[in-house]
């Protein structure tokens, strides 16, 4: 299930280890996504699966 289209209006800055960044860039490249898009798509997938397990209920 795809996440709804949303305007990109917020900025998030993260500090990660060089190894994490390298792995993230490799994974994004393998899926032909930007790093930002890879993170967003991956988290939406995780959250959607979590919501399905919880019977569609989101935690506040």
Q: What is the pLDDT of residues 2-18, one digit of tens each?
A: 666 767 788 999 999 99
Q: Which residue from 57, 35, 49 is spatially nearest to 3, judged by alpha carbons?
A: 49
Count how many domains the chain has: 1
User: What confidence score (pLDDT) does residue 59 get?
Assistant: 63
User: What confidence score (pLDDT) does residue 44 get?
Assistant: 93
Give residue 36's pLDDT band: very low, low, confident or very high (50, 70, 90): very high
Look up residue 38 and give its two tokens. Answer: 């890879």
Q: Examine residue 59 and state whether it is found in any structural domain, yes or no.
A: no
Q: Examine residue 29 and state whether it is found in any structural domain, yes or no.
A: yes
For residue 30, pLDDT over 90 is answered with: yes
Calculate the dihedral angle through the C-alpha atoms of 47, 35, 28, 7, rounding to the nearest 10 degrees. Answer: 50
Rounded Cα distance between 13 and 32, Å, is 22
| Domain around 30 | 18-53
């Amino acid at each position: 299930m795809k996440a709804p289209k949303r305007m990109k209006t917020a900025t998030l800055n993260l500090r990660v280890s060089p190894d994490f960044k390298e792995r993230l860039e490799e994974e994004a490249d393998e899926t032909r996504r930007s790093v930002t898009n890879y993170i967003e798509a991956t988290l939406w997938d995780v959250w959607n699966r979590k919501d399905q397990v919880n019977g569609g209920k989101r935690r506040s």
